[in-house]
């Protein structure tokens, strides 16, 4: 297992961000879903060794990051991390920034390092922009530069916090392609608000809410929880908790009693998520 969390908790100034989280991840791509403030970033930061948990056991790549500085360093040698918010030194080029991280990741030999930097930049579609200053890249391009630095050295554990932010559909498709390849040999844990990215890319999904795991299983199993609870109608259903008018002019209704004249619709991952955590969802246990 690449990530093993047992009873992990984390609080900020008395406010719990994570409450006794149990999680085990192996090779493959796992999506982390949840509303804002659910604890996703906190969980990812613990997995990335950016912060320490307040309680519970954490094992990453078979090692305990709290045991010693040497163990922590060994974990970090096989770890790639893209934080939710990543700043860039304003004077660095895209190549220079990724190269700097490569040096920090102990790519000592210059030629090999430059080859690796070019490889990851090509992987994220920034090969042609290597010489451009990071400060002059668009938001989506900077996000891809951040992803490139995380991919240096093909890490065994890749932790990505909202990697698709700012990416257009073509770039998101490219990212999915990249991560699907990476996921064959590494453990990828990513958080996103885009349920379609999780549906398209992840074998497994973890739904986090209020610092607790609400669901941990396959995407198919999560979607299955919404079967028989999603409908399409021709007219609006004002009393429905989750409903909206689709592009075809029909109204999609998620959860609640079946509206009169409605027909059952194939549920999506988003529907299952809304059922689990939307306004109509059952309250979480204390």
Partner 1 sequence: MRFTLPEIRRASLTSMVGIEARRFAKHPLFVIGVLAAYGVAVWASTLDTATSGGEVHVEGVLAHPIVPAFFIGLTSLVVAASLTRSTDVAAEAMGTAPGSEARRTLAVAGACVVPLVAGLGWLAELFVIVAVRGTHPNELWFPTVNDGYVWCILLALGPVSCLGGGLLGVLVGRWLRFRGAAVVAVVVVVAVDMLGQMPYAYDDDRASFRLWVPWAMFHAGGATEEELNGIPAYSQALLPGNPAWYLVYLLVLCALAVVGAIWHDRGARTPRVRLVAVGLLVAAIGCFLLAALTGISDVVISGPIDQAG
Our finding on whether 57 is near partner 1 (CB under 8 A) is: no
The residue within the footprint of partner 1, chosen from 5, 25, 38, 101 (CB under 8 A), is 101
Contact 82, 160 (CB under 8 A): yes
At closest approach, how far in Å is the CB of 246 from partner 1? 39
Note the residue count of the chain. Answer: 286
Residue 88, classed as helix, strand or coil, is: coil
| Position 95 contacts partner 1 (CB under 8 A) | no
- The bridge status of strand 55-60 relative to strand 3-12 is antiparallel
The site for partner 1, by CB under 8 A, has a size of 42
Asked if residue 252 binds partner 1 (CB under 8 A), the reply is no
Applying CB under 8 A, which part among 13-21, 41-49, 168-176, 206-214 lies near partner 1? 41-49
Which residues ranging from 71 to 90 are in contact with partner 1 (CB under 8 A)? 72-74, 76-77, 79, 81-83, 85-90
Nearest-5° Cα angle at 258, 256 to 263:
130
Quick check: 279 binds partner 1 (CB under 8 A)? no
Yes or no: say if 8 and 55 are a contact pair by the CB < 8 Å rule.
yes
Closest approach of partner 1 to the CB of residue 39, in Å = 17
- The nearer residue to partner 1, 94 or 195, going by C-beta atoms, is 94
104 belongs to the binding site for partner 1 (CB under 8 A): yes
115 lines the binding site for partner 1 (CB under 8 A): no
Burial of 26 (0-12, 13-18, 19+ CB in 10 A): exposed
Among positions 19, 40, 59, 113, the unique one binding partner 1 when judged by CB under 8 A: 113
Residue from 57, 106, 168, 221 binding partner 1 (CB under 8 A): 106
Closest listed residue to residue 12, CA positions, set 49, 44, 63, 51: 51
- Between strands 251-254 and 242-245, the pairing is antiparallel
Window contacting partner 1 (CB under 8 A); options: 42-50, 121-129, 197-205, 227-235 = 42-50
Closer Cβ to partner 1, 66 or 177, answer by number: 66
Check binding of 163 to partner 1 (CB under 8 A).
no
Q: Which residues contact 236 (CB under 8 A, 6 or more apart)?
A: 243, 245, 251
Q: How far apart are the first and last CA of the chain?
A: 30
Which tokens belong to 121? Answer: 């930049």
Stretch 117-146 residues interacting with partner 1 (CB under 8 A): 146
| Residue with smaller CB distance to partner 1, 35 or 96 | 96
Interaction of residue 166 with partner 1, rule CB under 8 A: no
Separation between Cα atoms, residue 123 and residue 182, nearest integer Å? 11
Our CA angle for 41, 171, 273, nearest 5°, is 45
Token reading at 57: 């056991």
Distance between CA atoms of residues 243 and 15, nearest Å: 33
Nearer to partner 1, 100 or 165 (CB): 100
Orientation angle between helical segments 139-151 and 110-123, nearest 10 degrees: 130
Q: Of residues 28, 37, 63, 100, which one binds partner 1 by CB under 8 A?
A: 100
In the complex, which residues of this chain contact partner 1 (CB under 8 A)?
45, 48-50, 66-70, 72-74, 76-77, 79, 81-83, 85-92, 96-97, 99-101, 103-106, 108-110, 113, 146, 149-150
């Amino acid at each position: 297992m690449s990530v093993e969390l047992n009873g992990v908790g984390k609080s900020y100034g008395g406010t719990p961000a994570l409450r006794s989280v149990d999680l085990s991840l192996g090779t493959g791509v796992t999506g982390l879903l949840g509303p804002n403030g659910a604890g996703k970033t906190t969980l990812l930061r613990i997995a990335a060794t950016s912060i320490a948990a307040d309680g519970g056991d954490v094992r990453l790549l078979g090692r305990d990051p709290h045991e010693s500085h040497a163990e922590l360093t060994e974990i970090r040698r096989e770890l790639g991390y893209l934080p939710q918010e990543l700043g860039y030194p304003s004077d660095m080029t895209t190549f220079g920034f990724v190269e700097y991280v490569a040096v920090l990741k102990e790519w000592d030999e210059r030629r090999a390092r430059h080859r690796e930097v070019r490889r990851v930049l090509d992987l994220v579609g920034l090969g042609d922009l290597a010489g451009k200053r990071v400060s002059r890249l668009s938001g989506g391009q900077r996000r891809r530069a951040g992803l490139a630095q995380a991919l240096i050295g093909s890490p065994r554990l890749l932790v990505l916090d909202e990697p698709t932010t700012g990416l257009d559909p073509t770039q998101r498709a490219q990212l999915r392609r990249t991560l699907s390849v990476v996921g064959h040999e590494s453990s990828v844990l990513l958080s996103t608000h885009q349920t379609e990215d999780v549906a398209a890319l992840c074998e497994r999904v973890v739904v986090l809410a209020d610092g607790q795991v609400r669901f941990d299983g396959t995407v198919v199993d999560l979607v299955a929880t919404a079967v028989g609870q999603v409908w399409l109608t021709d007219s609006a259903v004002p009393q429905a908790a989750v409903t909206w008018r689709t592009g075809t002019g029909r109204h999609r209704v998620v959860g609640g009693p079946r509206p009169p004249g409605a027909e059952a619709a194939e549920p999506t991952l988003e529907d299952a998520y809304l059922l689990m955590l939307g306004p109509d969802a059952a309250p979480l246990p204390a």
